[in-house]
A and B are shown apart, each in its own frame.
Chain A
């Protein structure tokens, strides 16, 4: 079997806001630093997606203007492929707009409903004021680890019974600023509002995703530890600022 971890960067041409491409770079480097084979493929608008070709998916956030271009493309087949991959236990990391997109729908503040792919049990409601700022939340997959990031969204996401949150907000807004949840977890899907970008400063999350992908692909998700001095310093500096 091909041992190369095949990462699909979905819609890098549209969902490329707020430095989210750094997440793909992070996944790639953390494989390379461990001398594990990895390859990145970009799948953009108009290019077919075959879920079988990949072991891990990344989808970022974008601007509203560009997302209108995206939806017709998404519903011309990519949605079914993504759903199949998710049910098949393949890891997906989805940020902000990409996170919302995996849910059922988005209702704008003036009542217009935009249907999304409905792979996961949650929906998003637009509000007029944006939720912006550095924030910190627990990472429930790794008790004791806090995730730091930057959120910037006007959508409030409400999780249904079929999914659980990625963690609890310690400072900031999170999914909706009301129930203290942040992000989503379902099988091997990790969804979150966190930019920053997310993975470089939160190596525990990066490794959790890589580990899930390797476990599924090779039956062994054990990863050698890396010297994360720079990562830890950047993480701890902000954690200290937010939590004192």
Chain B
């Protein structure tokens, strides 16, 4: 067997067998899945707990004017004094009391809400909207306009702006900005995380061999370049393994949880609704189911608007290429220093562009086709992160090709450079390292 393959095998197996790798590979998908499932789960739980709200309307203008929703139900109390009600609130099933003063049109800030718990933001907004609308209608009525109700119905319009991207060939594609942003941010962050994590793993591996002094035994059997490439490749495979495991495990967890967990809850909710014979609620539930279906369909179309084939392909490319670029530079540092503490000084200039790329990436979100996004998605040190953030919004193919080409050229150069430093660095101990010294190493002859 080729010696480089033997090295790759060792580098891969020792890392994959580590407890930290196994724990991280298994736990992270749980975290991912939790991030996806828990909000949905909470949403279902809230659906069950409909908040009953008592309305004490002294003005008598708003009876049945505040619409109940799937979260709040409004009951209109009559002939009750506010003070008495407040004292007895804890014995009732009501979440809170809404008090509307007698002359609300003159005292707009006189409306009050009492409850033991902090009312959700949606609630007060909902109430304020309903009252504002009712007052508006009342005020309009004083103008004696004919067919006011129909007119009002016909003038009320809800506006949503859909954005489309046109392409040179005349095609159009609908954009879903929010989702694009989430995917872009996620992809860019993952690249940053992977490049940084596995790049520094290479560095630590090189330093381990140097400080353990085993490196001299190994380079008497294989060329330093073989050792370097074996390590870099082995760690890259570890990264790919972790990524693919995360994707697969997260998918399995989410699907399983949906099957077991969420469907169970919805069933229970329906059953309860049926038992209590609350026809209205049941209707509401069916309604919300329909809404959910519609929403799900919408999300599905949104997801389909992103080209996941291109996205995944690009992710794998930028991960590997970015890792090769940074990993080989990290390896050079690892070979040059004697101890981890010395490495900080030389890591700085390498970590800076990566951190800078993250800052540019946030900017890219605002304007994915701006000059900043364009240039930094071409420059190799920042392109893995910045380009990944642009891809979900759509990038012309020539830009993508140029960026990839530059990145390949850059990592080839970085490997060549690092191999020269590495070859000398691994055998030199106890020397105070300076940039001048590194420059000298680059010029040493050797094979």
A and B associate: no
B interface residues with partner A (beta carbon < 8 Å): none
A interface residues with partner B (beta carbon < 8 Å): none
